[in-house]
């Protein structure tokens, strides 16, 4: 089995490369960075490859696992759209007539309403809170026959988004959060996502859309307390109503834009609203059609992430 992995220099792409090499597959790793530590891609040959610029013609592959793209809700919308839509289109064009596995996101579901055990036909929607969700939905639409995976809140070794945001919300002995803590959420460990990627690349399913999460949803308060305990942080979750937090987030975003800050404020409207209400996904389709068998949500080992 020869598989090409885009975004191999990133969190998810690197994990996919390592797992595929472990399965004995021939892996072709492509990424935007000039180079990576060989261990990051499991020792696979790595090629710098700019999906929005000059790139060499890749060798043939049995499947492509497309992990490249923008994962931020902050920055110029045009750059986010280019990375997620044009980049996806260019990746698919580079591997014509090849099984294409696209790592999308649960942010394609309606961000303004609770997501309650959503099935795949609940997206895309007509409105999005930012360029990230809108561009990922558009990226799905530019693909023809592809396997599309929709994870939610990916975490695990090498996490660059979820865990840093949680830790960044700690103030003294309080972990500031939004909602009441009782809302249920579906999380996706990077190990479970990698499992789905390999099943999609090698399995009998050539196209379709699949939610990909841990085995069962968890209660937000339980998840936050587990993270704090595993990291050894002496902080208690402290919940604020969304109606109070949202104006503060708007003000913070306005100031950061005026100052042209390249990094987002610690609090954005997207981050505030994303976990303030239930965000759960139905993974029946992935179980039945891909043979997906996810593990439970666990933060064991988070002290070293």
Contact at 8 Å (CB) between 184 and 276? no
What is the model's pLDDT at position 276? Answer: 87
Q: Which three-class secondary structure state does DSSP give residue 166?
A: helix
Q: CA–CA separation, 192 vs 214, rounded Å? A: 7
Q: How would DSSP label each residue in 35-71?
A: ---GGGGTT--EEE--TTS--PPPPP-SEEEE--S--
Q: CA–CA separation, 41 vs 101, rounded Å? A: 18
pTM of the model: 0.94
DSSP 227: H
Least confident of 182-191, 248-257, 284-293: 248-257
> Domains in the chain, start-ordered, CATH in brackets?
69-304 (3.40.50.720)
Q: CA–CA separation, 67 vs 8, rounded Å? A: 7
What is the model's pLDDT at position 244? Answer: 83
Residue 172: CB atoms within 10 A of its CB come to 8
Angstrom distances, CA of residue 162 to CA of 47, 109, 180, 256 = 28, 18, 19, 21
Contact at 8 Å (CB) between 30 and 23? no
Q: Can you tell me which residue has the tokens 């007539």?
A: 97
**In whole numbers, what is the pLDDT of the chain averaged over residues?**
93
Record the tokens describing residue 238, joined without a space: 């402290």
Contact at 8 Å (CB) between 13 and 37? no
Contact at 8 Å (CB) between 99 and 63? yes
Q: Can you tell me which residue has the tokens 């399965």?
A: 23
Q: CA–CA separation, 252 vs 249, rounded Å? A: 5
Record the tokens describing residue 298, joined without a space: 């666990």
Record the tokens describing residue 142, joined without a space: 């530019």
Contact at 8 Å (CB) between 190 and 229? no
Report pLDDT digits (tens) over 202-225: 988 999 999 999 999 999 999 999
Q: CA–CA separation, 231 vs 300, rounded Å? A: 10
DSSP 81: H
Percent of the chain with pLDDT over 70: 100
DSSP 76: -
What is the model's pLDDT at position 301? Answer: 87
Give the pLDDT mean for 153-163.
90
Percent of the chain with pLDDT over 90: 75
Least confident of 125-134, 181-190, 251-260: 251-260
What is the model's pLDDT at position 106? Answer: 97
What is the model's pLDDT at position 195? Answer: 98
What is the model's pLDDT at position 275? Answer: 81
> Shortest CA distance to 155 belongs to which of 297, 272, 29?
297
Give the pLDDT mean for 272-289.
92
**Cβ-Cβ contacts under 8 Å for 234 (sequence gap 6 or more):** 173, 228
Q: CA–CA separation, 65 vs 198, rounded Å? A: 8
What is the model's pLDDT at position 110? Answer: 96
Give the pLDDT mean for 30-50.
96
Report pLDDT digits (tens) over 57-105: 888 899 999 999 998 877 888 999 999 999 999 999 999 999 999 999 9
Report pLDDT digits (tens) over 23-35: 999 999 999 999 9
């Amino acid at each position: 089995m020869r598989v090409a992995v885009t975004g191999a220099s990133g969190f998810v792409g690197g994990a996919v490369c390592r797992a595929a090499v472990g399965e004995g597959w021939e892996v072709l790793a492509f990424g935007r960075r000039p180079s990576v530590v060989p261990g990051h891609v499991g020792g696979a040959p790595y090629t710098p490859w700019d999906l929005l610029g000059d790139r060499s013609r890749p060798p043939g592959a049995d499947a492509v696992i497309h992990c490249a793209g923008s994962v931020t809700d902050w920055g110029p919308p045009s750059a986010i759209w280019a990375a997620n839509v044009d980049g996806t289109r260019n990746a698919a064009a580079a591997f014509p007539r090849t099984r294409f596995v696209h790592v999308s996101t649960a942010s394609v579901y309606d961000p303004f309403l609770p997501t309650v055990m959503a099935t795949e036909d609940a997206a895309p929607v007509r409105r999005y809170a930012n360029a990230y969700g809108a561009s990922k939905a558009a990226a799905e639409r530019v693909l023809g026959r592809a396997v599309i995976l929709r994870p939610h809140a990916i975490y695990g070794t090498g996490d660059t988004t979820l865990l840093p945001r949680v830790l960044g919300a700690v103030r003294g002995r309080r972990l500031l959060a939004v909602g009441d803590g009782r809302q249920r959420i579906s999380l996706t460990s990077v190990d479970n996502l990698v499992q789905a990627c390999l099943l999609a690349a090698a399995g009998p399913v050539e196209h379709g859309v699949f939610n990909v999460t841990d085995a069962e949803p968890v209660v937000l308060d339980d998840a936050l307390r587990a993270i704090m305990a595993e990291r050894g942080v002496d902080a208690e979750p402290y919940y604020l109503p969304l109606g109070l937090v949202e104006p503060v987030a708007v003000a913070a975003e306005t100031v950061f834009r005026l100052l042209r800050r390249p990094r987002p404020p610690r609090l954005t409207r997207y981050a505030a609203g994303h976990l303030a209400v239930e965000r759960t996904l139905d993974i029946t389709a992935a179980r039945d059609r891909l043979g997906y068998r996810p593990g439970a949500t666990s933060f064991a080992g988070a002290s070293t992430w």
